[in-house]
Structures are given as C-alpha cells and as structure tokens.
A and B are shown apart, each in its own frame.
Chain A
C-alpha cells in the first residue's frame, strides 16, 4: 500500500492506520526530469523579475531629479492584471489596472506631473482624450492616501 492509498483510506474510514498485515511501500511515480523542472521555474522566474523590475526604477531616473516617489514602506509590484501597491506597515493592498500601473511606473522612472501625460501618450492609445487628466487624478489620489510623496 502506498502513502496516497493510506491517506485515501484514512479519509474514508477516519483511521489513518495501515490495515493489519499491510506494509507501506515507496510510491513509484514518474521521476521529474530536473532539467525540465528547471526550465519551468526559469520561465516563471522571467515573469517574476519582469514584475519586480520596478524595484530599481527610481534609480534609473536621470540625475536623481525625480520629483515624486513612493512613500517609504510602500512597494510596487506588477501583476498580470496590472499591479498592486502594498503598504507594508498597515498591510493594505491597492490594486491597479494596467493603465494605472503604467502611471506609477512612469512616476517611479522619474516623470514629473508635467511630463506624465506626454510619456503616457507615447505608450498608450488615448481615443477619448482623457488619459492625461485621469493620470493626474490618480496621482492626486495616491498622494492623498499617502502612497506617493513629492
């Protein structure tokens, strides 16, 4: 009897004991190929480091003249759905859609409020012509919540 069989039996009977006379044997599943496993993790890691690339964005701002930055104890992480801002002291998580994530990325890369609209328009389509205004509103909201500082 293998360990998985014992667990299933335990779930059914409530007794996690091998029946009398049965011995637990090593299970013989297919052995994972280490190279294949490493390749899978590598793919996952490529995605993770892309998401965590924002950690150094502020350091790429030219000549340290970035006018805004994340408040201390606030972490920015890109996710498949956009991004999150994590306030580590209160453990509050703020979810951002892809455009809002783009706004924070540009801010971390050193964009001032004045430059923000131009930088976003170079990256995103803006058929409704609202992008600039909405980006500044978001920046104001983030400042009001203490997530972004000058």
Chain B
C-alpha cells in the first residue's frame, strides 16, 4: 500500500509537470490548444517509467522526468495518428483534428514532441539523441503500417516487428534511459529487451481491445484498425489458419459496406479461437517480462513492477 501511495504521488508530480509545460505554451497558443499537448490518458508509460526506475534504484525525480518525456512523446504520436486515421474520438473526447482540422493537430503533435525533447535535455547526455532515434523508429513503424493497409500478407513475426517499432521503441528508450541512470548492476535483466517487450505487450492488448471494448470504455471507435484496413494480431492468427482464412477475409472485406461487419468480425475472431491465441501470446510476452523483471536489483520494488506488467496484460480499460 505504501508503494502504491508513493506511485500515486510520483504520478501526481508527473501530471503537475505536464500541466506546467501546458501552461508555458498556453501563453503562446491559448489554453484550449495547450491542453491537448499534455492531456494525460491512462499514463501507462509514466507508470512503467516510475516503477521500472524504482526497481533499478533510479532517483525518483529522474524517473519522473523520463515518465513525462514518455507521456509527451506518446501524446505527440497520438495527435499525429488521429490525423492519419481521421479519428473523431480519443480518450472519450473529440480529437483536435476533428474539431480544428489536421493541420492544427499535426502542429500540436510537433509541439508535444519538442516538449518531450526539452524534458530530457539535462537528464542524461544520450537521452535526447536516443529519443530522436526512438521517434524515428515510431514514425517508420507507423509508415510501414500505413502502407500495409489492405494487405493480407502479415505474419505474426512481421506484426511483432512493427509493434516493436511503433510502440516498443518508446518503451525501449525509457528502459535504456533509466538503465543508464541506474547506480546498480542490472545487466541480467536485459533492460532493452524488457522495455521493448512491454511496448509489444501494450500493443497486443490495445489491438485486442480494439475489437472487444465498447466505445465508451475505450474512448475511441470500435474496430478502428479494421475500418482503417489494418490486420492486427487476432486477424493475423485467423489468416494463418487455412480453415479460418476465407471467412475472415470475407468479413474483413465487408467492413465499410455492412454496418454490422465489425460486430460479426469480432464474434468470428472470438468463436474461431483467434482472439484467444492473441491473448495467449500476450500472456507469453508478459511472462517473459516478469522473468526478466525478477533480475532487477531493488528486490522490494520488483513485485510491484511485476504486478503492474501482469495488470497491463489483463487490463480491460
């Protein structure tokens, strides 16, 4: 309980720091727009940074800075993603691209990313350089996914590769930055792989939720990926099974023509076991992360971090 109270306190500091960043730009762009730059969501990246940092023995203030940078860079990518997908809802509220148009949303994303960079300039000599590299990998992953729209030639391995870039790269950056800041020996925990795996885990869960969560819980439209022509992990498993492939392709192609197609596709993925295979993969990655986490040096914090990873794998929000 004490650890959780400490986590909430740290998250409060991260939120306050993000609000301060918003306040700094609000004088230049107005409070309504500045709010989008640092609006918090589930703050899973911040929780990851704080708990992973604690298990590495990193100074809390440094972990909080890492957390803020991760949240701001994530916000930047969401602002841009919503333009790409022409999404109308995010975190239960209208997206800036739907309210003000894509130009404004793209510029807000640019502001958010520069805010993330500013956060880390004094954190570690390599932090900013590595954050730029992570942003490049995120953008490349998004571009790859964009150009695979409509493709049915996606394998489990290529899906995981894309997830490792578009979502994993930022977690990898966070893990490597905290690793560099840690005063304790921790090579056995392989922070790079651990961070990357947490990102992939989060992506798989998000992709399952894209089908299974109601709009009101997810805060965005249901089956958005399928509507955008993207095949995600449950679909990849259906495609890889010759017995399920024809029906999956038929349903997937009816999206956009039949308003009930997303619900039918979801039911098919559940009934065929493809969704369960994706959930199983999720559990495998989570188990792999927890195994690595047990090698982290601050034993008293490891359990909280492992619980956080398990909760992320099982989350329904």
Task: Judge whether A121 is part of the interface by a CB distance below 8 angstroms.
Answer: no
Task: Judge whether B288 is part of the interface by a CB distance below 8 angstroms.
Answer: yes
User: Does A42 lie within 8 Å of B150, measured CB to CB?
Assistant: yes
User: Does A42 lie within 8 Å of B147, measured CB to CB?
Assistant: yes
Q: Mark A33-74, 1 if CB is under 8 A from B, else 0.
A: 000001001101110111011111111111111000100100
User: Does A54 lie within 8 Å of B147, measured CB to CB?
Assistant: no
Across-interface contacts of B196 in A (CB, < 8 A): 56, 58-59
Task: Judge whether B256 is part of the interface by a CB distance below 8 angstroms.
Answer: no
**Assuming A63-B287, A64-B190, is B157 touching A56 (CB within 8 A)?**
yes
Q: How many pairs, one residue from A and one from B, have CB atoms within 8 Å of each other in the complex?
A: 87
Task: Judge whether B163 is part of the interface by a CB distance below 8 angstroms.
Answer: yes
User: Does A64 lie within 8 Å of B288, measured CB to CB?
Assistant: yes
Across-interface contacts of B212 in A (CB, < 8 A): none
- Pick the residue among B148, B168, B190, B287 that contacts A49 (CB under 8 A): B148
User: Does A72 lie within 8 Å of B192, measured CB to CB?
Assistant: yes
**Assuming A56-B160, A60-B160, is B193 touching A69 (CB within 8 A)?**
yes
A-facing residues in B256-314 (Cβ within 8 Å): 284-285, 287-289, 291-292
Q: How far is the CA of A48 from the CA of B145 in the complex (A)?
A: 11
Query: Range of interface residues on chain A?
Result: 20 to 34
Interface of B is mostly: helix
User: Does A64 lie within 8 Å of B291, measured CB to CB?
Assistant: yes
User: Does B161 lie within 8 Å of A54, measured CB to CB?
Assistant: yes
Across-interface contacts of B289 in A (CB, < 8 A): 64
B176 smallest CB distance to A (angstroms): 9
Q: How far is the CA of A101 from the CA of B269 in the complex (A)?
A: 34
Task: Judge whether B75 is part of the interface by a CB distance below 8 angstroms.
Answer: no
Across-interface contacts of A53 in B (CB, < 8 A): 155, 157-158, 160-161
Across-interface contacts of A55 in B (CB, < 8 A): 161, 164-165, 168
**Assuming A42-B150, A49-B162, A72-B192, is B144 touching A59 (CB within 8 A)?**
no
Across-interface contacts of A57 in B (CB, < 8 A): 157, 160
Across-interface contacts of B291 in A (CB, < 8 A): 63-65
- Pick the residue among A41, A48, A56 that contacts B163 (CB under 8 A): A56
Counting chain A CB atoms within 10 Å of each CB, which of B149, B157, B291 scores highest?
Answer: B157
Task: Judge whether B32 is part of the interface by a CB distance below 8 angstroms.
Answer: no
A-facing residues in B66-82 (Cβ within 8 Å): none
User: Does A59 lie within 8 Å of B192, measured CB to CB?
Assistant: no
Q: How far is the CA of A63 from the CA of B285 in the complex (A)?
A: 7
User: Does B148 lie within 8 Å of A45, measured CB to CB?
Assistant: yes
User: Does A56 lie within 8 Å of B148, measured CB to CB?
Assistant: no
User: Does B288 lie within 8 Å of A59, measured CB to CB?
Assistant: yes
A102 smallest CB distance to B (angstroms): 14
A132 smallest CB distance to B (angstroms): 24
B-facing residues in A60-117 (Cβ within 8 Å): 60-65, 69, 72
Q: How far is the CA of A56 from the CA of B196 in the complex (A)?
A: 8
Across-interface contacts of A50 in B (CB, < 8 A): 155, 157-158
B100 smallest CB distance to A (angstroms): 26
- Pick the residue among B147, B157, B165 that contacts A45 (CB under 8 A): B147
A-facing residues in B177-234 (Cβ within 8 Å): 190, 192-194, 196-197, 200
B41 smallest CB distance to A (angstroms): 24
- Pick the residue among A44, A46, A56, A60 that contacts B168 (CB under 8 A): A56
Q: How far is the CA of A42 from the CA of B145 in the complex (A)?
A: 9
B228 smallest CB distance to A (angstroms): 14
A47 closest partner in B (C-beta): B153
Across-interface contacts of B163 in A (CB, < 8 A): 56
Q: How far is the CA of A60 from the CA of B201 in the complex (A)?
A: 11
Across-interface contacts of B154 in A (CB, < 8 A): 46, 49
B124 smallest CB distance to A (angstroms): 16
B281 smallest CB distance to A (angstroms): 8
User: Does B153 lie within 8 Å of A59, measured CB to CB?
Assistant: no
A17 smallest CB distance to B (angstroms): 39
Residues of A at the B interface (CB closer than 8 Å) are 38, 41-42, 44-46, 48-50, 52-65, 69, 72
Could you give 8 example pairs across A and B, Cβ below 8 Å?
A49-B154, A53-B155, A53-B158, A56-B157, A56-B164, A57-B157, A59-B285, A62-B287
